[in-house]
Amino acid sequence: MTNDNSKVMVRVENLKKHFPIKKGVFGNKQVGAVKAVDGVSFDIYQGETLGLVGESGCGKSTTGRTLLQLYKPTAGKVYYHDQDLTDIKPEEMRQNRRNMQMIFQDPYASLNPRMTIGQIISEPLVVHGLGDRKERLAQTEELISKVGLNPFFKDRYPHEFSGGQRQRVGIARALALRPEFIVCDEAISALDVSIQAQVVNLLEDLQEEFDLTYLFIAHDLSMVKHISDRVAVMYLGKLVELTERQELYDNPLHPYTQALLSAVPIPDPIKEKQRNRVILTGDVPSPSHPPEGCNFNPRCPIAEDICRREDPEWRMAAPGHWVACHLVN
């Protein structure tokens, strides 16, 4: 993982994605909105893996999909190599899709059960009109081998494979167009722990071989620590902290990050007993009715009056260490 901090591949500025809540006989009256992503800003450098972590429902997957324009953003900008993806024609976006791909969360739902894995992996090549039939077949077999499966499996159907093998097929499909940026949307969360390590190692090997850049979305903090160069922490549609991997684990500044990290098991029983657990009270508020001020204030153990009144600014607290908290100096 060799990230080039001088070269920003993807820049996200104040990105928002709100899903309307509609009522009425014909469902045409908007009565509110689910603020799935509510103003996030970050950069992804060429060649790096940016980990995006947070509880289920905090907006991680929506961020990844909005980044790739699978969802149209409500507001904000996404720049890919200085090209504004939110303001280009569909045909231009279609060309960009060759460079930007996604590995989906559920290997059981993301593969068409009526297609063989050979057809699934070669479909992007057909859609973009790349190569003739013989070349596509050769490339498909090469990709199947690259992800650690037997090329003779190309005529088998998804139901004949295990979850880990299906996810490898999903990775091969994402690689078919030789992209440079891949969003891994909880690509390992549906797999057994033993298989997770294999898939993460595969992703790292492929990153080195094809010079890939990843946005790695997950809620397993130990796995994110293993694969990421930098880590962004998300809570209720907003980023609360972003910094280098080791800095985040050694010196978490935001109370929510501290609570998350205190829940990660330590394999040493003596250290496990000695450390302080941060237990959060209450539940995550609804994204359709976020609290006034800081989103985290109803559950924050150190919240003050200003936290209940004002939304904290997303700012750099130390070189390369971003945080959104009134109480961090």
Domain locations in the chain? Answer: 4-99+182-192+212-323
At 144, is the secondary structure helix, strand, or coil?
Answer: helix
Mean pLDDT, the chain, integer: 89
Q: Is the pLDDT of residue 206 over 70?
A: yes
Task: Evaluate if residue 275 carries a pLDDT over 80.
Answer: no
Residue 111 has pLDDT above 70, yes or no: yes
pLDDT bin (cut points 50, 70, 90) of residue 5 is low
Read off the pTM: 0.90
Looking at residues 281-302, what average pLDDT do you find?
88
Question: How high is the pLDDT of residue 25?
Answer: 80
Highest mean pLDDT among 184-188, 239-243, 278-282: 239-243
* Interatomic CA distance for residues 163 and 27, integer angstroms: 38
> What's the full length of the chain, in residues?
329
pLDDT of residue 272: 66
- Give CA angle at 140 (137, 141), nearest 5°: 90
**Residue 3 binned pLDDT confidence (cut-offs 50, 70, 90):** low
Mean pLDDT within 126-154? 90
Beta bridge partners of 316: 322
Long-range contacts, stretch 299-304, CB < 8 angstroms, 24+ apart: 299/256, 300/255, 300/256, 301/255, 302/255, 302/327
pLDDT confidence tier of residue 265, bands split at 50, 70 and 90: confident
- Is residue 38 predicted with pLDDT exceeding 60? yes
Q: Report whether 125 contacts 131 (CB < 8 A).
A: yes
Residue 259 has pLDDT above 60, yes or no: yes
Predicted pLDDT at 52 = 95
CA distance 209 to 213: 11
263 in helix, strand or coil? coil
- Position with higher pLDDT, 227 vs 194: 227
Helix runs in the chain, H state only: 60-67, 90-96, 117-127, 133-146, 163-175, 193-210, 221-227, 245-250, 255-262, 269-274, 305-309
How high is the pLDDT of residue 60? 92
For the chain, what is the radius of gyration of the CA atoms? 21
Sequence-distant (6+) residues with CB within 8 A of 262 are: 275, 276, 277, 278
Q: What is the mean pLDDT of residues 65-69?
A: 93
Task: Please give the class, per CATH, of domain 4-99+182-192+212-323.
Answer: alpha beta
User: HSE on the CB side for 119, CA within 13 Å?
Assistant: 10
What one-character-per-residue DSSP string does 172-201 give?
A: HHHHTT--SEEEEESTTTTS-HHHHHHHHH
Tell me how far apart the alpha carbons of residues 175 and 102 are, in angstroms, rounded to a whole number.
Answer: 9
Of 21, 16, 184, which is closest to residue 86 (Cα–Cα)? 16
Q: Is the pLDDT of residue 54 over 80?
A: yes
Share of the chain above pLDDT 70, in %: 97
Burial of residue 123 (number of CB atoms within 10 Å: 0-12, 13-18, 19+)? middle
